[in-house]
Amino acid sequence: MSKPRVAIFDFADCEGCELQIANLEEEILDLITIVDVVSFREVMKEHSDDYDIAIIEGSIMRPMDEERLRFIRSRAKILVALGACATIGGVNTLRNQWTPDEVKKEVYGSAKLNETLFDVGPAKAINEVVPVDYYIHGCPIDLDEFKAVVTSLALGKKPEIPTYPVCVECTKNENVCLYELGKFCLGPITRAGCKAICPTHNSPCDGCRGILKKPETECVKDLVARYDLTYEELAQRCTVFNSGKEACK
Amino acid sequence: MTKDLSVHVHHLTRVEGHGDIVLDVKAGKIQQLQWQVVEAPRFFEAMLRGRKYSELRLITSRICGICSIGHSLASLKATEDALGIKISEQTQILRRLAINAENMQSHILHIGYLAAPDLLGVGSVVPLAGSKHHDVLLKIVTLHRLSNVMSNLICGRTTHPIRLTVGGFTKVPTKHQLEDLKASLQEALPLAKDLVGVLQSLQNKIPDFERETEYIGLSSPKEYALYDGTMTSTDTGPFHENKNYQSLMKEYVVPQSTAKYAKHARASYLVGALARFNLNSSQLHPQAQEAAEYFDMHAPCTNPFLNTYAQMIEFIHNIEDSQLLIDMLLSRGPRDEKPVTVTPKAGRGVGIVEVPRGILVHDYTLDKNGNCTKANCIIPTNQNHANIQLDMEALVPTILHKSPQDIELTLEMLVRAYDPCISCSTHYLTIHFI
Amino acid sequence: MNHPTLTITKKELAVFVNKLIADTTYDVVGPKAKGKRFAYETLENASDLRLDHDVTILPPKKYFLPICETLLHYNLKKAFDAHPEAEDKPRIIIGMHPYDIIALQQSDKVYLDYQKDDFYQKRRSSTIIIGADIETVSERSFAASMETHTTNEGFDLLLTSIGASYAVTIGTDKGKKLLDKYAVTKKITPVDLKKVTDMRSRLTGRYKRSVKAPKEDWPRILAANHDHAIWEEKSDHCMECSSCTMVCPTCYCYDVRDTTDLNLTNGGRFRTWDGCMLKDFGRIGSGEVFRKDIKDRYRHRFYRKGNYIPARYGYIACVGCGRCGIACLPDIADPCDVFNDLSRFGQQPDTDRYYIRRTTKPQEKGIIHIPRSATITRIQRLTTAETLYELELDDKKPLGHKPGQFVEISVLGIGEAPFCVSSAPSPAPVFEIAVRKVGNVTSKLATLSVGDKVGVRGPLGVGFDVKAYEKKDLLFTSGGIGIFPMRSLVNYVLAPENRPKYKSITILYGAKTPAEVLFQNEINAWKKVEGVQVEQTVDRCEKNECWMGCTGLITTLFPKVETKKLDIKNTIAVVIGPPIMYRFVIKCLQTIGVTDDHIFVSLERRMKCGVAKCGHCQMNGVYVCKEGPVFNNAELQNLPEAFE
């Protein structure tokens, strides 16, 4: 079996998820023995447009970015969205409540801006522009999940992503529930796969892996009422990572 | 010499974010020479509008994946300043450890993965595996992992830290964990020194280029300033009005860039490891001083390519400094402190820290419920853009006789030496919320 | 009956515990404070041990059935290399409360009685349990109602706080030896003995929560209230997090998956806790999900506790620890509440209706989770999606299956999936499976070649009782890939040495389209055997396709069955096909007069472990992998989940 050719691309984001790949440390050497990394701008100068698997990080902001993404999709057999910005839109979508013109005016004032560079639309998740085959969720991604997806693809197996909430992993970690401590946590409605890392460090889940049950679902409303929180607080908290169109799917 | 030349570097590699270099020479005359930032703008502070004080760090951490700890700390300092919160001594020490960890992680990433390939004549670290430099690669990897282990221990996670919160830490490391960390740092020192040797042997690959400029960073009488200090310029000296930082860092918009540019006393200034070195080198810990001697670097050092070397010196300093900080914690016994309780109130706060790429400012105004009404961030890389441009303008005439490939590589190396964090710099914006 | 015979002062107990900790051959664990809660953790000092804990977040089951454990290691660079995980360090658990000790005894039934789980057994036998009588009653516990607040057995030693000392009950020799070696004790005085008796008798009254319905009534209450509105009302609030099952000391379901290192060489097969409240618990390779509705999953959990497991093992699978009540955010998980609500709504005596008791013995062969190696010796493409594999077991021993039994096939690195054996029983170490490409394992199988290795566990489950079918007319109906297991049965009864034992044989077979007809050559051969009638149909036939036979659903074949020739009362009908088919075909069979106990079906569920442990293939009280996959229709009448 020939090695799959992998290209890693980034759009609007913090590049933190790509950084996790560098955090593989010695295992990077294993990675490059099982796949050919043909493009990874953040760490290598070499580049090729001939690849089987494209891994996309970041949200899509501008027509020029959409065009570049469509080109990548047309060349890739498998397209993987990497990290919250790519999978659900992530924090980038927080600004979508205002129009691009409003934001630009407020940000750069009356300065004359380059029309192409600043031709900005609403921030989008990758699958709002092109079809996505697999998702690696999180802000940032979980390195073990990244490895599981890469090895799965290299072995010809469909990667499995949890469809259950963070509570499952949190309970397995034997954490004291943050609700018991009077803290407000999105774990019960957020997709697991992060090993409940935030609650394990006594910090509430913020929903970066995507919301499984919308805040307006009856059982979520019940939960909020039971713990003396307001629905508005919950909904507001959800918007940090889940303001995008793709977030509550 | 009369020649035509066109250098177009589209999406410069091995830097964080998207930037282009454009050089057009006709008949030996430079027609166009530009450093362009083409990263999609993210309008970060717009996202802060109306957000609760407790969410500001959460959101601004996402400005940058490499210096998310630095952004978190600047954000917390600004928030705590606005709310009038005093943090404990233990929190201060832990935050200094956090900033050391990030400086180490970011510097070694830049030295090892981003800059070293140029010095070793390869396109990336990948070809180093199995080559005669394999051993060097493993040392880089070991030091990189140690930096991450340290960040994980102090902050819960390297990228987008978890434990850092308004008023303190959600969880603190145990005595055992700190002892183990101290031992690992001790083991890492010889490896870091080996790397100093390797860099010294490659110093002849550094272009012989000098351009004196203004250097700005934090300074403190107590220490080599990173977490706390007074904004200081090599031209004009200390500047004590934290809340008036904008008169020191004057920002402006240029047409070729989605990031803002900045200047102070001159047309441009430089921030980052080299600026800190030029301001505070006498306060480096002993083994870091030795490394500087070994590189024969003395303040003021005016070759911007040597920023990478200043980072290496800081890396050693961070190891030494962390060991001392851990000793302080161990002598007191790390306490399971809860974060300070917060009572929301209205106010404005400014948080200034040194992050790997230079001085970073977060500035928030909160309403009486603790919700953000106005936010501003000054990103280190923004402050360097103008200096990169002016360096290029001074550099190109001196290298025009070289081959286009050499010119391209030298220009790339120059930008890389600044270790620009372009994603950060385009996340910049100032907003006055209504 | 064990009684306390010794006492140990609190100071001496601390010395004892510290000596145990110092003995590095053991991992010594006990409840430690975690915020305001408690958790079992490794002890570094006796002072951390909190024998006065109310209840721990997770039960000590994590030490016997770890949250994540490696069942086997493999090396993908070698032909077939799968070896079990090395042993754990022996462990001493201090402070286990009686209800947790009783829960552990219940797990023993599941993991040791029927096809013992080697990993569980190793841990069980290398663990010393020092129990502790309850000092602090947990707010949510109702252990007294469940009679699990005290226990006389299941421990090696038991400590009972009596003021400045602990009374010590010796449960086993192992416990006594440990005491002799490390502890300074005194003989118990009658005064102290009375303190223990008093403490225990007072304990019952200290519980704030109690179940009105005696636990003996739970199976009858559930038998009467399958369709009660409570299931929907409560499950409407469910967050589907399965925390209730994770923290339950008597829940034992698990999932298994293969994880390979980034070098694509070394990897492991991991078993992790799973929960029946999770959406994908009943998802099978083809994507179909059983017990899809949260209401059904919610009800399932209570039926397991109060009806299914009691029918199977004879005990109520709830010890009243109250952990689920604490863990459940919407507070709908507490059995105490549910049974108090339901106790007003009647009871029914036929409590075992959801369970089918089988007397067949399992075939214990080696470690139940470690597959035997087999080599692919022949690959025959049947259609674009289906392939037949001939496998030879490398130990050269025959599989020894009956028609209708299944095997778990492993492709290391990908996983394991169940397949019905498609060939007739044979004395050779060779058998066939037919595979439709739907999931990960089947897709990977499609890429393998002759000579490649796979793992085999089995034969598993109960097959067709071919002996009981002798001297009877046989009517076989299969649809789609139902022909895969049917082929094993047909080829068995048509074998020259077996054919005389059976009367007439009618075979009905339907496929979706002519292109999807499987084994046509073999079917043609079947037709030629004397006394065999074969009828075929396809659901639809495109204009450009060649098909001489009947068109229409499988039921259109029934008028062609020569019923007059059949002794209907002595006819055995076997039906295998997609779930949708069963209802209609069974109706046809009933119409022509075949009795339910003569109608046999083979059902598909998520058979994961194959040994009645992981819980995934459960259909009401029945494990399809153990009591099935072959059932007669009479047995299924009481199983609402059979044809969902």
DSSP B272-324: SHHHHHHHHGGGS-HHHHHHHHHHT--SSP--GGGHHHHHHHHHHHHHHHHHH
Same domain? B259 vs B336? yes
- Asked if B389 has any chain A CB less than 8 Å from its own CB, the reply is no
Residues 6+ apart with CB under 8 A from A23: A143, B144, B148, B158, B159
- Asked if B263 has any chain A CB less than 8 Å from its own CB, the reply is no
Band of pLDDT at residue C429, cut at 50, 70 and 90: very high
Same domain? A115 vs A37? yes
Residue B427 has pLDDT above 70, yes or no: no
Chain centre distance of CA A48: 25
How many other C-beta atoms lie within 10 A of the C-beta of residue C508? 26
Question: Could you tell me what percent of chain B has a pLDDT over 70?
Answer: 94
How many other C-beta atoms lie within 10 A of the C-beta of residue A213? 17
How far apart CA C226 and CA C114 sit, in angstroms, is: 28
- Asked if C495 has any chain A CB less than 8 Å from its own CB, the reply is no
A/C interface, count of CB pairs below 8 Å: 111
- B 60-99 residues inside an 8 A Cβ radius of A: 62-66, 68
- At C360 the pLDDT is 72
- Chain C residues whose CB is inside 8 A of the A222 CB are 237, 330
How far apart CA C274 and CA C252 sit, in angstroms, is: 8
Point out which residues pair with C435 in neighbouring strands.
Answer: C387
A63 Cα to chain C: minimum distance (Å): 36
For C97-119, the three-class secondary structure string (H helix, E strand, C coil) is CHHHHHHHHHHHHHHHHCCCCHH
- Asked if A24 has any chain B CB less than 8 Å from its own CB, the reply is no
How far apart CA A118 and CA A109 sit, in angstroms, is: 13
The strand pair at B168-169 and C386-393 is best described as unpaired
Residues 6+ apart with CB under 8 A from C18: C45, C46
How many other C-beta atoms lie within 10 A of the C-beta of residue A38? 19
In a domain, A161, yes or no: no
Measured N-to-C along each axis, helices A231-242 and B53-60 cross at an angle, to the nearest 10 degrees, of: 10
Band of pLDDT at residue C401, cut at 50, 70 and 90: very high
Residue C221 has pLDDT above 50, yes or no: yes
DSSP code, position C224: H
Question: Could you tell me what percent of chain C has a pLDDT over 70?
Answer: 99
Same domain? A42 vs A126? yes
Write down the domain spans for chain C.
Answer: 4-69+81-206, 215-342, 372-460, 473-602
First to last CA, chain C: 48
- B 128-157 residues inside an 8 A Cβ radius of A: 129, 138, 141, 144-145, 148, 156-157
B223 Cα to chain A: minimum distance (Å): 30
Q: A67: domain range?
A: 5-155
Same domain? B15 vs B97? no
State the average pLDDT for chain B.
Answer: 90
- Asked if A160 has any chain C CB less than 8 Å from its own CB, the reply is yes
Q: What integer is the mean pLDDT of C285-306?
A: 90
Q: B228: domain range?
A: 44-432
Point out which residues pair with C129 in neighbouring strands.
Answer: C93
Helices (H) and strands (E) in chain A, counts: 10, 5
Domains held by chain A: number: 2
How far apart CA A86 and CA A100 sit, in angstroms, is: 19
Band of pLDDT at residue B43, cut at 50, 70 and 90: confident
For residues C120 and C613, the answer to whether their CB atoms sit within 8 Å is no
- Asked if A176 has any chain B CB less than 8 Å from its own CB, the reply is no
Provide the CB-side half-sphere exposure for A102 (13 A, CA): 11
Band of pLDDT at residue C351, cut at 50, 70 and 90: confident
How far apart CA B285 and CA B313 sit, in angstroms, is: 10
Burial of residue C584 (CB within 10 Å: 0-12, 13-18, 19+) is middle
Query: In tens digits, what is the pLDDT along chain A, a chain of 249 residues?
Result: 578 999 999 888 888 998 898 888 888 888 888 888 888 877 777 778 889 999 999 999 889 899 999 999 999 999 999 999 999 999 999 888 888 887 777 667 666 777 777 778 889 999 999 999 999 999 999 999 999 999 999 998 999 899 999 999 999 999 999 998 888 899 999 999 999 999 999 999 999 999 998 887 888 888 888 888 888 888 888 899 998 776 654
- Asked if B102 has any chain A CB less than 8 Å from its own CB, the reply is no
Bond into C629 cis (ω within 30): yes
Bond into C398 cis (ω within 30): no
Bond into A140 cis (ω within 30): yes
Q: What integer is the mean pLDDT of C50-62?
A: 97
A155 Cα to chain B: minimum distance (Å): 23
In a domain, A247, yes or no: no
Band of pLDDT at residue B432, cut at 50, 70 and 90: very low
For residues B44 and B427, the answer to whether their CB atoms sit within 8 Å is yes
Measured N-to-C along each axis, helices B134-155 and B89-108 cross at an angle, to the nearest 10 degrees, of: 160
- At A2 the pLDDT is 75
Look up tokens 């829940």; give the residue: C251
Residue type, B20: D
- At B285 the pLDDT is 98
Residue of A29, A167, A175, A191 best to disrupt the C interface, most CBs of C under 10 A: A167
For residues A8 and B9, the answer to whether their CB atoms sit within 8 Å is no
Band of pLDDT at residue C364, cut at 50, 70 and 90: low
Residue C101 has pLDDT above 90, yes or no: yes
- A 113-172 residues inside an 8 A Cβ radius of B: 113-114, 117-118, 120, 123, 139-140
- Asked if A154's CB is within 8 angstroms of C329's CB, the reply is no
Which of the two residues, B262 and A165, has the higher pLDDT score?
A165
Instruction: For the domain made up of C372-460, give the CATH fold.
Output: Elongation Factor Tu (Ef-tu); domain 3 (2.40.30)
Residue type, B150: M
A161 Cα to chain C: minimum distance (Å): 11
- At B428 the pLDDT is 38
Residue B393 has pLDDT above 80, yes or no: yes
- Asked if A114's CB is within 8 angstroms of B42's CB, the reply is no
Instruction: Locate the chain C residue with the closest alpha carbon to A202.
Output: C35
A34, A155, A188 member nearest C329 (Cβ): A188
- Chain A residues whose CB is inside 8 A of the C232 CB are none
H or E, element range at A33? helix A27-34
**Tokens linked to B223:** 């220490």
- At B28 the pLDDT is 81
Provide the CB-side half-sphere exposure for C83 (13 A, CA): 6
- B411 closest CA partner among B168, B130, B196, B209: B209
Domains held by chain B: number: 2
Same domain? A119 vs A176? no
Residue that terminates a domain, selected from A155, A189, A218: A155
CATH class of C473-602: alpha beta
A86 Cα to chain C: minimum distance (Å): 24
- At A243 the pLDDT is 84
Neighbour subunits, C (≥3 Cβ pairs < 8 A) = A
Buried-state track C183-208, b at ≥16 Cβ within 10 A, e below 16: bebeebeeebbebbeebeeebeeebe
Residue type, B424: C
Band of pLDDT at residue B433, cut at 50, 70 and 90: very low
Residue C465 has pLDDT above 60, yes or no: yes
- At C365 the pLDDT is 62
How far apart CA A205 and CA A198 sit, in angstroms, is: 6
Residue of B71, B122, B137, B159 best to disrupt the A interface, most CBs of A under 10 A: B159
For C114-177, the three-class secondary structure string (H helix, E strand, C coil) is CCCCHHHHHHHHCEEEEEECCCCCCCCCCCCCCCCCCCCCCCCEEEEEECCEEEEEECCHHHHH
Same domain? A191 vs A68? no
How far apart CA C252 and CA C110 sit, in angstroms, is: 8
Q: What integer is the mean pLDDT of C79-84?
A: 86
Residue B430 has pLDDT above 50, yes or no: no
How many other C-beta atoms lie within 10 A of the C-beta of residue C180? 9
State the average pLDDT for chain C.
Answer: 92
- C249 closest CA partner among C51, C58, C38: C58
**Tokens linked to C316:** 């109520």
DSSP code, position A98: S
The strand pair at B269-270 and B214-219 is best described as parallel
B220 Cα to chain A: minimum distance (Å): 31
**Tokens linked to C344:** 């007003």
Torsion of CA B367, B372, B375, B377, to 10 degrees: 130
For A117-156, the three-class secondary structure string (H helix, E strand, C coil) is CCCCCCCECHHHCCCCCEEECECCECHHHHHHHHHHHHHC
For residues B192 and B106, the answer to whether their CB atoms sit within 8 Å is no
Residue B130 — left, alpha, or beta (φ > 0 → left; ψ -120 to 50 → alpha)? left
- At B429 the pLDDT is 34
- Asked if A181 has any chain C CB less than 8 Å from its own CB, the reply is yes
Question: Could you tell me what percent of chain C has a pLDDT over 90?
Answer: 79
Residue that terminates a domain, selected from A128, A155, A182: A155
For A160-225, the three-class secondary structure string (H helix, E strand, C coil) is CCCCCEHHHHHHHCCCCCCCCCCCCCCHHHEECCCCCHHHHCCCCCCCCCCECCCCCCHHHHHHHH
**Tokens linked to B89:** 């001594």
- Asked if C239's CB is within 8 angstroms of A189's CB, the reply is yes
Same domain? B18 vs B148? no
- B363 closest CA partner among B49, B143, B81, B86: B81
Residues 6+ apart with CB under 8 A from C525: none
- A 46-105 residues inside an 8 A Cβ radius of B: 46-47, 61-62, 65, 90-92, 94-95, 98, 103-104
Q: What integer is the mean pLDDT of C550-568?
A: 87
- Asked if B127 has any chain A CB less than 8 Å from its own CB, the reply is no
How far apart CA C608 and CA C255 sit, in angstroms, is: 8
In a domain, A248, yes or no: no
Judge if pTM exceeds 0.90: yes
A46 Cα to chain B: minimum distance (Å): 6
Residue B19 has pLDDT above 90, yes or no: no
Same domain? A57 vs A128? yes
Same domain? B138 vs B10? no
Residue of B10, B11, B12, B13 best to disrupt the A interface, most CBs of A under 10 A: B13
- A36 closest CA partner among C22, C227, C165, B124: B124
How far apart CA C581 and CA C537 sit, in angstroms, is: 14
Residue C616 has pLDDT above 70, yes or no: yes
- Chain B residues whose CB is inside 8 A of the A19 CB are 65-66, 109, 158-159
Residue B431 has pLDDT above 50, yes or no: no
- At C65 the pLDDT is 94
How far apart CA A110 and CA B146 sit, in angstroms, is: 47
